[in-house]
């Protein structure tokens, strides 16, 4: 490839550290797609002959079919996917293969390949998020009336509905989808034709290759085009935030499926047993999802660290970008698929959820609101009176609805029998009917809205 400049070949250690074919062969399809677009442009502009252009394009399809069939032999001596493909193309079509690299460099070639690959991962992740949101919507609609405890500080706070809790994750994952769509749109500029760093003297048509590869436009600055890895950093950033959301949900599933909570039953398909304890049913899928965020965050930090000290334009350090993104993409897609499967199969334990929703004086806020609404107390006074009644119930070892009217009136003499109507968990959730609230009708409205958007 560059033997004309060097009298001797590379040392074996240099060859080992320099070669990237073991991992960048994953970009074979994108590399061939980019090369076919480049060859078509060269022929259209008269830079190479039509016959050479056609031979190159057809030969590249043969190379791709060999790779996809597992019949291609990758060579470390040829360093990377670009040279492996070009060498095999020369075996197939001879001299015209040498004209393929006219008007480009490996710098803009790898940037193009990597962008195309990353763009595909954005699309796959967006599809994965859609699938997850759809199973969450089914859970939300089916559980719009199921009452469960809402927590702050992992302490029972107020009753909510199962559907409302599921919709919280729909909103989270919708933001993840939006971030990915936004980053995908921003990255959709073609580096092809930027060459090594300064552009080319040949009369190339960068608009033609950009359009052929599905880019919105060619990148506007050749220096930036070959040295930009923002698209990879944005993918890793989006993946890290999404994995964090998956991890939060996984943590809840681990807690909820425990014998102490019994909020949810996970299917056997996404659980494992113990080699020694026959009674165990472990939420291993959730635990592994929870762990994936560590790998994905690590990839983001690694690439940020790689890029932070690089002068313009291209440096070989950038070869270390791909493994981070490849690993993060694999981890994210597996976590999304596993979570979608778990959510689709899981069954809420209605009785346990309802029982827990009534614990911990969860309707105390409803009592305070009643004192404000019915007796006209300032909220701070109502808060104080309710706190006194909670303390009384706690000392008696009972819940608020079990206090007598006389005991209630010790906190405020005007409290009457109708106060008990707000102390039930069903009344509590039904009263939270403001937009975005936990009331069943609100949940159904949100489910309907999201079903419409996802269609």
Q: Is 165 a catalytic residue?
A: no
3-state secondary structure labels for all residues of 102-156: CCCCHHHHHHHHHHHHHHHHHHHHHHHHHHHHHHHHHHHHHCCCCEEEEEECCEE
Strands (E), 139-293: 147-152, 155-161, 189-190, 217-218, 264-265
Q: What is the pTM of this model?
A: 0.90
Q: Is 412 a catalytic residue?
A: no
- Identify which of 326, 334, 325 has the alpha carbon closest to the alpha carbon of residue 250: 334
SS3 366: helix
Sign of dihedral through CA atoms 366, 368, 374, 376? negative
Neighbours of 290 (CB within 10 A): 20
51, 75, 258, 274: which one is catalytic?
274
**pLDDT at position 49:** 97
Contact 195, 103 (CB under 8 A): yes
Sign of dihedral through CA atoms 70, 75, 81, 82? negative
**pLDDT at position 361:** 82
- The rounded distance, in Å, linking the Cα atoms of 307 and 233 is 9
**pLDDT at position 92:** 97
**pLDDT at position 59:** 98
pLDDT in tens, the chain (455 residues): 545 555 556 667 877 787 888 889 999 999 999 999 999 999 999 999 999 999 999 999 999 999 999 999 999 989 999 999 999 999 999 999 999 999 999 999 999 999 999 999 999 999 999 999 999 999 999 999 999 999 999 998 899 999 999 999 999 999 999 999 999 999 999 999 999 999 999 999 999 999 999 999 999 999 999 999 999 999 999 999 999 999 999 999 999 999 999 999 998 888 777 778 877 788 899 999 999 999 999 999 999 999 999 999 999 999 999 999 999 999 999 999 999 999 999 999 999 999 999 887 888 888 899 999 999 999 999 999 999 999 998 999 988 888 999 999 999 999 999 998 888 899 889 989 999 999 999 999 999 999 999 98
152 beta partners: 155
Q: Residue 218 corresponds to which tokens in the numbers above? A: 């060619």
Measured CA angle at 397 (ends 394, 403), to 5 deg = 75
Across 191-218, b (16+ Cβ under 10 Å) vs e yields bbbbbebebbeeebbbebbbbbbebeeb
């Amino acid at each position: 490839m560059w033997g004309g400049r060097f009298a001797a070949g590379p040392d074996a250690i240099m060859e080992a550290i320099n070669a990237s074919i073991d991992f960048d062969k994953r970009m074979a399809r994108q590399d061939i797609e980019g090369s076919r677009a480049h060859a078509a442009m060269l022929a259209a502009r008269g830079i190479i002959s039509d016959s050479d252009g056609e031979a190159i394009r057809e030969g590249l399809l043969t190379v791709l079919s060999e790779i996809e069939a597992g019949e291609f032999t990758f060579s470390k001596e040829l360093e990377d996917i670009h040279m492996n493909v070009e060498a095999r193309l020369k075996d197939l079509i001879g001299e015209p293969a040498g004209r393929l690299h006219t008007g480009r460099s490996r710098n803009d070639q790898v940037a193009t390949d990597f962008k195309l690959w990353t763009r595909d991962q954005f699309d796959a992740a967006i599809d994965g998020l859609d699938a997850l949101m759809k199973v969450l919507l089914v859970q939300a609609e089916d559980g719009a009336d199921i009452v469960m405890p809402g927590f702050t500080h992992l302490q029972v706070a107020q009753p909510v509905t199962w559907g409302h809790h599921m919709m919280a994750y729909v909103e989270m994952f919708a933001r993840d989808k939006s971030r990915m769509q936004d980053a995908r749109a921003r990255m959709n500029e073609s580096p092809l034709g930027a060459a090594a760093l300064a552009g080319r003297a040949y009369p190339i048509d960068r608009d033609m290759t950009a359009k052929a590869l599905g880019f919105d436009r060619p990148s506007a600055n050749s220096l930036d085009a070959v040295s930009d890895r923002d698209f990879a950093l944005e993918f890793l950033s989006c993946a890290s935030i999404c994995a964090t959301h998956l991890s939060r949900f996984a943590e809840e599933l681990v807690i909820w499926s425990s014998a102490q909570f019994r909020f949810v039953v996970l299917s056997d398909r996404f659980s494992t047993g113990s080699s020694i304890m026959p009674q165990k049913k472990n939420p291993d899928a959730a635990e592994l999802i929870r762990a994936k965020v560590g790998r994905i965050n690590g990839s983001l930090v690694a690439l940020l660290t790689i890029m932070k000290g690089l002068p313009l334009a291209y440096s070989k350090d950038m070869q270390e970008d791909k493994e981070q993104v490849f690993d993060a993409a694999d981890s994210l897609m597996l976590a999304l698929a596993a979570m979608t499967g778990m959510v689709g199969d899981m069954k809420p334990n209605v009785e346990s959820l309802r029982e827990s929703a009534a614990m911990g004086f969860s309707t105390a806020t409803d009592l305070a609101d009643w004192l404000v609404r019915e007796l006209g107390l300032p909220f701070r006074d109502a808060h104080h009176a309710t706190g006194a009644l909670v303390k009384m119930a706690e000392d008696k070892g009972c819940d608020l609805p079990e206090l007598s009217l006389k005991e209630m009136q010790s906190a405020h003499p005007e409290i009457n029998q109708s106060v008990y109507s707000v102390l039930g968990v069903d009344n509590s959730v039904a009263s939270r009917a403001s937009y975005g609230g936990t009331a069943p009708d609100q949940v159904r409205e949100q489910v309907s809205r999201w079903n419409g958007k996802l269609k």
